[in-house]
Amino acid sequence: MPRFCSLRVLFFCLGIVLVACGDDSSSSTGAPANESSQPALSSAEATSSEEGETSSSQEATKENSSAAKSSSSKAPESSAAPASSTTSSSSAEKPSSSAAPASSAETPASSGEPASSAAPASSDDDGGDDGKCTDCDSFTAADPELTEKGGKGSVTTYGSVTAKETSLGGACNYGQTNIQYYAAIHVNVSPGDDKGPWDGGAACGGCVRVKAKTPDGWKRVTVRITDRCPDANCGVDLGGAPASDIMGITVGRYYGEWEFVSCEGVEGVWGDSTSLWVKEGASTFWSIVHVRNPKDMVKSISIHGVDSEESYELEMVVGTENFWTVPPEVLQTDKKYRVVVKYRTGTDDEWHIKGSELAVGEANLYLYEHRE
């Protein structure tokens, strides 16, 4: 017992010494007061603490190791991510940098396309002339000029630009029509010379593409010829609707150019389906015919027997413009004939009819009803 007490005293003294030392070390290291006030651990507790620390350090090592493995296993992804982001950033920058020129190149192209597409047309068709003018309705009257494809000179109007009536047939003798885009063409080049394209009505039914100078530049319209000009200085005299398209409400004498074209596929120049029309007063002894709503100017009309060797080339009537004379021998029979019409351009049209049908005045023989 006295030994046990002395040991307790010894341990107690050692504890005090250790506490005192701890105070000195804590004060020298600047540890917090609450840590210095903790009682010293026994050697068993210290050992246990060390073992706990060892195991915790091992666990920490394992965790670090597993974290390292996890990190290393994810490394490709994480390294790929920056690479990917770099790549995407770089690829985003490259297209944007390459796109910028493309876009800048495209922008003028897109903004300039109408201009560029119009420019060649202007350059090719108009010789670089934009067609703009001032006092456009006061072009000085002059003789028209013939060109390879048509002519140039005055463009005027004899129709109303507000009422826009359809053609009454004019000197082409078409009678009342539903043709809204029509015009008259000049007879002469110099007064009285008969050298214009009218040619006794041979121009009838053909179409003309007209362009005229205006304050806004060239304006274009396509019309069917149904009449001849009364004016010595006339070039093309427009009906109301086409005149309105070019002149608006400021009618007058404009400078223009024109060329002959096919009527096929052109809107506003068709009053009805193509037909062979017999003039009123026809009989078995006399008949003249013409083509209404042709695809172009009529160059010739011929009649051929279906069951015979007969063949006739019709001649244009002198004095009654735009008509062709039918031989009496055709009129006086019910035999079948082929009536072949050749145009300035395009394919021929062919009617299959009885000869006697051409002896009926005002007969309107539609092509679609008389085809084989």
pLDDT tens-digit series, residues 172-181? 999 999 999 9
151 and 194 share one domain: yes
Asked which of 204, 236, 261 is the last residue of a domain, the reply is: 261
Q: Please tell me the distance from the alpha carbon of residue 343 to that of residue 360, in angstroms, as a whole number.
A: 25
Asked which of 261, 288, 312 is the last residue of a domain, the reply is: 261
Q: Please tell me the distance from the alpha carbon of residue 28 to that of residue 46, in angstroms, as a whole number.
A: 23
**Greatest Cα-to-Cα distance within the chain, rounded to the nearest angstrom:** 173
How does pLDDT run across 254-284, given as a tens digit for each residue?
999 999 999 999 999 999 999 999 999 999 9
> Residue 229: which CATH number?
2.40.40.10
Task: Inform me whether the pLDDT recorded for 69 exceeds 50.
Answer: no
Indicate whether 347 belongs to any domain.
Answer: yes
- Strand, coil or helix: 123: helix
Tell how many helices (H) and how many strands (E) occur in the chain: 5, 15
Q: What is the DSSP string of 123-163?
A: HHHHTT---B-SSTTBPPP---EE-SSEEEEEEEE-S-TTT
How does pLDDT run across 6-23, given as a tens digit for each residue?
545 555 545 554 444 444
How does pLDDT run across 164-210, given as a tens digit for each residue?
899 999 999 999 999 999 999 999 999 999 999 999 999 999 999 99
Indicate whether 50 belongs to any domain.
Answer: no
Asked which of 213, 237, 261 is the last residue of a domain, the reply is: 261
How does pLDDT run across 114-156, given as a tens digit for each residue?
333 233 333 346 778 999 999 999 999 999 999 999 999 999 9
pLDDT at residue 144 in the model: 97
- Looking at the structure of the chain, the number of domains it has is 2
pTM, entire model:
0.67
What number is the average pLDDT over the span 231-252?
95
- Measured from the Cβ of residue 65, the count of other Cβ atoms closer than 10 Å reads 10
Q: What is the residue-averaged pLDDT of the chain?
A: 77
> Residue 286: which CATH number?
2.60.40.760
Domain that includes residue 256, residue range: 145-261
Indicate whether 51 belongs to any domain.
Answer: no
Label residue 85 by pLDDT band (50, 70, 90): very low
225 and 290 share one domain: no
291 and 352 share one domain: yes
